[in-house]
Amino acid sequence: MLSVSHYARRAANCAAFILCALALALSVVCEASEPLAVSAKSGILMDAATGKVLYTKAARKRAPMASTTKIMTAMVVVGNSRPTDKVVVSESALQTKYASLWVEAGQTMRMEDILKAMLVNSSNDACVAASEAIFGSEQAMVAKMNERARELGARDTHFVNTHGLHDPDHYSTAYDLVIIAREALKNPAIRKLVATKKVVIAWPGKPWGRVLQNRNKLLWLLPGADGVKTGFVKESGKCLVASATRGGWRVLAVVLDSEDCWKDAASLLEHGFREYRRVRAARAGQVIHRARVRGGRKRDVALAAVRPVLAVVRREDAKRCRLRFNLSEPLRAPLKKGERVGMARLYLGKKELASGPLVVKTDVALSWPLTIWLWFKRAAAALAALFVLALGVRRSVIALRGIRRRGRPSPPSNNGRRREG
């Protein structure tokens, strides 16, 4: 038989559980209702797929960006080298301030290990070594970095070095850094490395490898965190370019000169996932509509999106989005696979959020009656052409004979005979 104390303990446990659940629910409600507060001097939150800005704070203000510079450095390295390329580490590279490759001058490393040291361990001498191996000098690499920044539209960014050590003329903005990171993450090699917590590289002169741990603490602190790069010098304060992906949806955040870059970046990313929703109306190649076809062997045809049609909207607006189709004209056979026939447009009310071309998914031939009629028309046209050609030849022959007759000399008359005398 159970004692009274047993039931009392069970009641107490249930009460504690209910109180904890209520406290958790209350904390979630409070968190959702609190306005977003970021200690960083400047920051930005952006949807990676569409480029839609979800939050800004002085995002166009120029500021030193420290080692977040290495995002652009890595992008240029990957675009101009191969992982198996050999890099001879020079004495000048090892003299870079805060060098951390821990090798001797003249030793050789693979480019893929140089890149790992650059992005995971934020190695300054790795940046210089890669520059010298690819372009011959760090300044040649810097020129390429500035050129690439202009191509991406990062108009308020200027690089003086490849690693981010402070220089008054070395600066960027939160907005520029997020568009640079967005482009860099399109590369699988960079995307993989910035999400890696630990990595092993070959250690020249030693029989064992060297383990590098990522300096981005957000990889351990935030669910779904997968990048991108930390940065700190005294003049810049704490900087972080951060990324997180949940359910296939990636959001990017940048904070510059932050009191607590981990907290600020996490708050921005959580704000994005909590307050916004991604509306994916179509994937690339997905059949999203069927249209009637006139004069075809099929009554209708499948239409597919050429590229993804998606948008990011406020959570409360997600269910109000509607996909509409605008066909260039009533579809008439024949149709070829891949032929563009209209547009798919995603709307929120009357506002267009996104669009993409629609193409025919399969060939549609003419119906048999129309095919026979077309063959008849072509045959008739061919016969008519042959008739006209024959008529033209006949007239040409007649005209040629006439010319020949006119050019032949006339026979002499009797009056022209000489009389014998």
Residue the block writes with tokens 């509409």:
324
Domains of the chain: 42-277 (3.40.710.10), 283-360 (2.60.410.10)
Residue the block writes with tokens 């990324």:
243
Report the alpha-carbon distance of residue 293 to residue 298 in Å, rounded: 7
CB atoms within 10 A of CB 93: 26
The tens digit of pLDDT for each residue in 116-164 reads: 999 999 999 999 999 999 999 999 999 999 999 999 999 999 999 999 9
pLDDT at 374 over 50: yes
Q: Tell me if the pTM is above 0.85.
A: no
Instruction: State the pLDDT confidence band at 26, using cuts at 50, 70 and 90.
Output: very low
Q: At what angle do helices 70-79 and 124-135 cross, to 10 degrees?
A: 30
Q: Which of 351, 335, 337 is nearest to 287 (CA)?
A: 337
Token couple for 294: 């006139």
Q: Are 357 and 321 in contact (CB under 8 A)?
A: no
- The predicted pLDDT at position 17 comes to 38
Mean pLDDT score of the chain, rounded to an integer? 88
Give 385 or 55, the one with higher predicted confidence. 55
Q: Which of 358, 354, 360, 324 is nearest to 342 (CA)?
A: 358
CA-based torsion, 51, 57, 60, 66: positive or negative: negative
- The predicted pLDDT at position 125 comes to 97
pLDDT at 418 over 60: no
Give 15 or 26, the one with higher predicted confidence. 15
Token couple for 305: 């999106």
Residue the block writes with tokens 């061919």:
382
Give the lowest-confidence range in 229-243, 299-313, 365-379.
365-379
- The predicted pLDDT at position 182 comes to 98
For 127, counting Cβ atoms within 10 Å of its Cβ (0-12 exposed, 13-18 middle, 19+ buried), the class is buried
Instruction: State the pLDDT confidence band at 15, using cuts at 50, 70 and 90.
Output: very low
Residue the block writes with tokens 């300096």:
215
pLDDT at 421 over 70: no
